[in-house]
């Protein structure tokens, strides 16, 4: 019987990491995740996997490590000997990167360099997925963007991702490492962090509908994004590393929607008038807002056969309904 493939995921406790772990476990992988040592042992997004005795300790393994600690990362690589590495970890909030630009650059740019160097030194061949971002295009001169669109990042996060993306290409070309950049556009889910606007909207709408909140404060609601579902996008990550040749791919729906459209769709789920509850707050606006970020996924559809499955209305509904369930569960616990 062939030995199971070994995958190493940085950021396994995040939105994408949790969906990817589920996908790889279903495909028979042994999944290893790098986690930070914290006082909070509950890692909610993967707790259902960690609590499964048939998985944890047999096909799911967690290793304490930090992206800034090259020594520990090398030990993890030596122990796991991964066939595939999925580098998803790092500060990923664009707005927050304006407030903490140095730590964002360290986590996003330098951590990727560190992992690529470790991968270059491995004696066994491995395949490396780097989570790039549509934010590398920033103030793009063309729309939709393709893999050939010039990089014009408009935030510290975008700059750090552009560095890491170009570095991945250099290591692929210079050292022959099988490394792919997945240039993912915005992807959401019920597992999205609450500091992201989509989850902020979904959570507020659920609480407003149950009388727990009275308003939703937002910045620029005319900002447009290409929103897909994280569950669909992790499938694209896996497909990239199964292809014979490494390359870079845009993963997107090709459909831009505004924050305002997300708001209206969310309130429609609970049948409430958004106008009554949404208030503008300039404090939530970014210093520099990227424009016309919408991606063409023609290449990945043509080469790998991937396409998004979840529609925008279904995504919004799933997020709001998950928050409604969370509110109901909280009420039940209180009573």
Active-site positions?
Answer: 133, 135, 157
Taking the C-alpha atoms of residue 128 and residue 30, their distance in angstroms, rounded to an integer, is: 16
- Token pair for 48: 């259902």
* DSSP secondary structure, 196-255, as one string: SHHHHHHHHHHHHHTTS---EEES-TT-EEE-EEHHHHHHHHHHHHHSSS--EEEE--S-
Query: Residue 219: is it exposed, middle or buried by C-beta count within 10 angstroms (0-12/13-18/19+)?
Result: middle
Range list of H helices, 47-188: 47-50, 70-80, 94-97, 101-105, 111-120, 156-175
Phi, psi at residue 17, to the nearest 5°?
-60, -40
Q: What end-to-end distance do the CA atoms of the chain give, in Å?
A: 52
Taking the C-alpha atoms of residue 100 and residue 43, their distance in angstroms, rounded to an integer, is: 24
- Token pair for 190: 């019920």
Taking the C-alpha atoms of residue 128 and residue 73, their distance in angstroms, rounded to an integer, is: 15
Residues in contact with 320: Cβ distance below 8 Å, sequence separation at least 6, in sequence order: 202, 205, 206, 266, 269, 270
User: What's the chain's Rg over C-alpha atoms?
Assistant: 20
Q: Which residues of 55-74 are buried (b: 16+ CB within 10 A; e: fewer)?
A: beeebbbbbebebeebeebb
CA 319 to chain centre: 16
Taking the C-alpha atoms of residue 265 and residue 92, their distance in angstroms, rounded to an integer, is: 25
């Amino acid at each position: 019987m062939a030995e199971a493939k070994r995958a190493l995921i940085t950021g396994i406790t995040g939105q994408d990491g949790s969906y990817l772990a589920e996908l790889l476990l279903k495909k028979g992988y042994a999944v290893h995740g790098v986690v930070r040592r914290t006082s909070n042992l509950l890692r909610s997004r993967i707790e259902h996997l960690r609590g499964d005795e048939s998985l944890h300790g047999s096909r799911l393994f967690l290793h304490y490590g930090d992206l800034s600690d090259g020594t520990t990362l090398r030990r993890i690589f030596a122990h796991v000997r991964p066939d595939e590495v999925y580098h998803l970890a790092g500060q990923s909030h664009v707005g927050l990167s304006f407030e903490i630009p140095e730590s964002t650059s360290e986590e996003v740019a330098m951590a990727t360099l560190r992992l690529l160097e470790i991968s270059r030194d491995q004696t066994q061949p491995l395949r490396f997925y780097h989570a790039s971002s549509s934010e590398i295009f920033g103030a793009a001169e063309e729309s939709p963007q393709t893999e050939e669109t010039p990089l014009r990042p408009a935030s510290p996060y975008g700059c750090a991702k552009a560095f890491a993306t170009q570095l991945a290409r250099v290591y692929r070309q210079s050292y022959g490492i099988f490394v792919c950049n997945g240039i993912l556009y915005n992807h959401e889910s019920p597992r999205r962090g609450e500091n992201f606007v989509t989850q902020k909207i979904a959570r507020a709408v659920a609480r407003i509908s149950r009388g727990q909140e009275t308003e939703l404060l937002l910045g620029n609601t005319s900002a447009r994004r290409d929103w897909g579902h994280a569950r669909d996008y992790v499938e694209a990550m896996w497909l990239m590393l199964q292809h014979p040749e490494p390359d870079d791919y845009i993963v997107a729906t090709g459909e831009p929607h505004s924050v305002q459209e997300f708001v209206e769709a969310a309130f429609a789920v609970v049948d409430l008038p958004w106008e009554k509850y949404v208030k503008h707050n300039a404090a939530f606006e970014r210093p520099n807002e990227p424009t016309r970020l919408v991606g063409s996924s023609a290449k990945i559809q043509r080469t790998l056969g991937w396409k998004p499955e979840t529609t925008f209305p279904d995504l919004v509904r799933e997020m709001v309904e998950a928050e409604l369930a969370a509110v109901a569960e909280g009420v039940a616990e209180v009573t």
